[in-house]
């Protein structure tokens, strides 16, 4: 698939900082040490409804990771998938009488527009599950032939016991895993499985559902986790720097993906670091397509909300926090955007070299965006109260806020 256009990232004077970030697998902070080309895989949308503020918040977090890397003069190899075949997509298409491929294409197109408007850096590869099927099939065959997968009434399951590191990504106990597996697309209660947690790799064709010729697997369609594994291994290989997504993906999705890849290659780890963003809620519950309590980025844009204000709304909360969206949060962000724009629209202002370092330091500290915003707020307040004589300052602030936070003033 094609991604979306890249916005320019201005180069800043001085030196960027290495990112210290919370790693789900170790439960503590790690300092990321990528090579000259940092490799990141971020799980993409399931396109039956596109982009609510929860999605946008998660993509914002991983956009910042990349901006920090770019500021250290590294290149970034970013890969993102689109889950354009899966149960929820087929269910929505069935319930609304739409063709599932048209639904997926339309919502993916809207997602691209939203990402562009929000100045999210595009992935180098933006890859659909459907287009990956020819690469998924041989991986499932290999797992089966190695004894890491087995057949149950035509469906092929991965055996979690095949990976000695299973459980290390989420660090959950068996009971917690079982509950989450039932909630998040697994089938722990299906009789005949070797381990209740075993996830499906290949689902034999069901009546009335789309199917692909699965070679020795028989006609059917791929499971969810193997999709991201096939795409990540194809473009990034083992041991890439960061796998990212919302906290609802830590288990089972990222746990299973890591185990699939580790069992396939005999290598470890799949990703060096697993990073998860908190959940955005509306009216007291996690924003989710299945609950329907959603605020869409496209709806806000249609209502005339500046995308930069949407982005500032996301930046105002720490990426790991679970937070509640309200109109007041957006109003605050809109007011802040107005103050910042007024502050950089003057020909001179207070010196901003220290501000650039403060933004860098805040981001390097587990993407502490509230601290970064507070630093810009202080500079803008000084500009508004006493001004300054540094002619380069407003331009530098503009470029720093753009390069590091993705906000165009």
- The residues that touch Zn ion, with contacts defined as CB under 5 A, are 43, 228
| Least Å from the CB of residue 183 to ligand 5CA | 13
- Per-residue burial over 186-199, b if 16 or more Cβ lie within 10 Å, else e, is bebeeeebebbbbb
| Least Å from the CB of residue 362 to Zn ion | 29
List contacts with ligand 5CA (CB under 6 A). Answer: 43-46, 54-55, 57-58, 81, 83, 228, 245-246, 248-249, 277, 279-280, 286-288
Cβ distance 337 to 408 under 8 Å? no
Cβ distance 61 to 116 under 8 Å? no
Q: Which is nearer to ligand 5CA, 171 or 185 (CB)?
A: 185
Q: Which does 393 bind (CB under 5 to 8 A by kind): ligand 5CA, Zn ion, none?
A: none
| Least Å from the CB of residue 43 to Zn ion | 3
Residue 253 DSSP code: I
Q: Which two tokens stand for residue 223?
A: 């499971």
| Least Å from the CB of residue 227 to Zn ion | 7
Q: Which is nearer to Zn ion, 150 or 166 (CB)?
A: 166
Burial class (CB in 10 A: 0-12, 13-18, 19+), 367: buried
Strand 155-158 to 149-152 pairing: antiparallel
Q: Which does 57 bind (CB under 5 to 8 A by kind): ligand 5CA, Zn ion, none?
A: ligand 5CA
- Per-residue burial over 33-54, b if 16 or more Cβ lie within 10 Å, else e, is ebeeebbbbbbbbbbbbbbbbb
**Residue nearest Zn ion (C-beta atom):** 43
Residue 13 DSSP code: S
Q: Which two tokens stand for residue 228?
A: 């991201």
Q: Which is nearer to Zn ion, 43 or 143 (CB)?
A: 43
Q: Which does 54 bind (CB under 5 to 8 A by kind): Zn ion, ligand 5CA, none?
A: ligand 5CA
Q: Which is nearer to ligand 5CA, 140 or 232 (CB)?
A: 232
Burial class (CB in 10 A: 0-12, 13-18, 19+), 239: middle
Q: Which does 167 bind (CB under 5 to 8 A by kind): Zn ion, ligand 5CA, none?
A: none
What are the residues facing 245 on neighbouring strands?
276
Q: Which is nearer to ligand 5CA, 151 or 183 (CB)?
A: 183
| Least Å from the CB of residue 5 to Zn ion | 24
Q: Which is nearer to Zn ion, 229 or 315 (CB)?
A: 229
């Amino acid at each position: 698939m094609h991604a979306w256009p890249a916005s320019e990232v201005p180069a800043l004077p001085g030196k960027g900082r290495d990112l210290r970030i919370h790693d789900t697998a170790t439960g503590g902070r790690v300092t990321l040490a990528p090579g000259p080309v940092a490799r990141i895989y971020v799980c993409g949308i399931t396109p039956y409804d596109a982009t609510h503020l929860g999605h946008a918040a998660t993509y914002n977090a991983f956009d910042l990771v990349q901006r920090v890397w770019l500021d250290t003069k590294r290149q970034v190899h970013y890969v993102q998938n689109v889950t354009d075949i899966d149960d929820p997509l087929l269910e929505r298409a069935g319930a609304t009488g739409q063709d599932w491929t048209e639904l997926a294409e339309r919502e993916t197109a809207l997602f691209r527009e939203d990402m562009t408007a929000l100045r999210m850096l595009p992935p180098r590869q933006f890859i659909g599950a459907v287009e990956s099927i020819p690469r998924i099939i041989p991986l499932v065959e290999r797992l089966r032939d190695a004894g890491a997968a087995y057949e149950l009434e035509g469906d092929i399951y991965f055996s979690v016991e095949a990976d000695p590191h299973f459980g290390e990504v989420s660090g959950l106990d068996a009971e917690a895993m079982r509950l989450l597996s039932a909630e998040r697309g697994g089938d722990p209660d299906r009789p005949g499985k070797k381990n209740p947690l075993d996830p499906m790799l290949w689902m034999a064709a069901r009546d009335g559902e789309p199917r692909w010729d699965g070679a020795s697997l028989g006609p059917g369609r791929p499971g969810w986790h193997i999709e991201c594994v096939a795409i990540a291994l194809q473009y990034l290989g083992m041991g890439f720097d960061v796998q990212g997504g919302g906290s609802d993906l830590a288990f089972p999705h990222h746990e299973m993906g890591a185990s699939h890849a580790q069992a396939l290659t005999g290598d470890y780890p799949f990703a060096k670091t697993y990073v998860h963003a908190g959940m955005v809620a509306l009216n007291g519950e996690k924003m989710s397509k299945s609950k329907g309590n959603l605020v869409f980025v496209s709806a806000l844009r249609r209502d005339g909300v500046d995308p930069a204000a949407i982005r500032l709304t996301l930046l105002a909360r720490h990426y790991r926090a679970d937070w509640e969206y309200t109109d007041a949060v957006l109003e605050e962000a809109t007011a802040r955007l107005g103050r910042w724009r007024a502050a950089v629209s003057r020909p001179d202002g207070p010196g901003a070299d220290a501000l650039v370092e403060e933004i860098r330091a805040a981001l390097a500290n587990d993407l502490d965006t509230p601290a970064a915003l507070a630093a810009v707020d202080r500079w803008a307040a000084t500009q508004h109260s006493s001004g300054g004589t540094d002619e380069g300052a407003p331009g530098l602030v503009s470029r720093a806020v753009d390069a590091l936070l993705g906000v165009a003033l």
